[in-house]
Amino acid sequence: MHIYAHRGVSAHLPENTLVAFSRAIELGVSGIELDVHLSADQIPVVIHDETADRTTNGTGSISEFTARQLGLLDAGSGQFVPTLAQVLSLAAGKVRVNIELKDAAAVAPVADVVASIPGLDWFASSADWNALAELGQKVPGAKVYPLCIGAIEKVRSLLPDDSDGGSFAGRGLADAITFALNNGGEGVSIWEGGLDEADIQSIHDAGLQAWVWTVNDAERTCELRAMGADGICTDDPALIQESEREAAVSSLVGR
């Protein structure tokens, strides 16, 4: 089961920063996950939110800052908001990269950046499935993973009472599988809440991979491994790696 570092090693280092991604590479994870927005000068930058407020010392919409200005903000521990090109250059030839599209307008600029990085192993995910379809048209052979919260009937009770599922409303696992099959998808990016073996089997039966987010619990990791999950995304990859090592030792002892 592959381990991906969610926004880098974000449990211990500033999320979506070069130091967080560098630490993930040092740990030997299979891949990293990052989020992309567009700067005011149309450069793909790596940050989760639409604004700089939560993760930096700046305030305001990401689209109001140039990439250079974002690079001057403090994102914690002396880090800054990197460009997508900076992160991909760091990761190329070392780990696979899940590029999560947060802004549909970023599709063409992201396509240009990935084409400029030699040795890059990547795929794209997004809650905006139209953006994924557009990316697939611009980059023939691009691997895409539609994000979904799972089978709606199973997860509805797990959502907050005032939630309608947000951007995922009305689009469940079956829809995500259909989208992936119709758009050259490699797999489905699915929330771990409510996920069970039958869901993963449905994904596998369609010839797709089950990529699960976000898992920060060793016991849940064991459950997902037993269910056949192909990969998990975690804020704390070292914790999950230790869980995997313990499981391997237990398996050997049990023989």
Q: How far, in whole angstroms, is CA 206 from its chain's centroid?
A: 21
Q: What gap in Å lies between CA 71 and CA 91, rounded to an integer?
A: 19
Q: Which residue has the tokens 């060793």?
A: 218
Q: What gap in Å lies between CA 65 and CA 52, rounded to an integer?
A: 9
The pLDDT value given to residue 163 = 47
The pLDDT value given to residue 253 = 74
* Ordered DSSP codes for 91-117: HTTTSEEEEEES-GGGHHHHHHHHHHS
The pLDDT value given to residue 164 = 45
Q: Classify residue 121 as left (phi > 0), alpha (psi -120 to 50) or beta.
A: beta
- If 0-12 CB within 10 Å is exposed, 13-18 middle and 19+ buried, where does residue 45 land? buried
The pLDDT value given to residue 255 = 65
Please work out, in degrees rounded to the nearest 5, the angle formed at the alpha carbon of residue 195 by the alpha carbons of 180 and 172: 40
Q: What is the pLDDT along the chain (255 residues), one digit of tens a residue?
A: 999 999 999 999 999 999 999 999 999 999 999 999 999 999 999 999 999 999 999 999 999 999 999 999 999 999 999 999 999 999 999 999 999 999 999 999 999 999 999 999 999 999 999 999 999 999 999 999 999 999 877 777 777 654 444 555 557 999 999 999 999 999 999 999 999 999 999 999 999 999 999 999 999 999 999 999 999 999 999 999 998 888 888 777 776
The pLDDT value given to residue 213 = 97
Q: What gap in Å lies between CA 91 and CA 48, rounded to an integer?
A: 18
C-alpha distances (whole Å) from 102 to each of 91, 105, 167, 196 are: 20, 9, 11, 27
Tell me which amino acid residue 235 is: D
Element (DSSP H or E) covering residue 152? helix 152-155
Please work out, in degrees rounded to the nearest 5, the angle formed at the alpha carbon of residue 122 by the alpha carbons of 116 and 123: 120
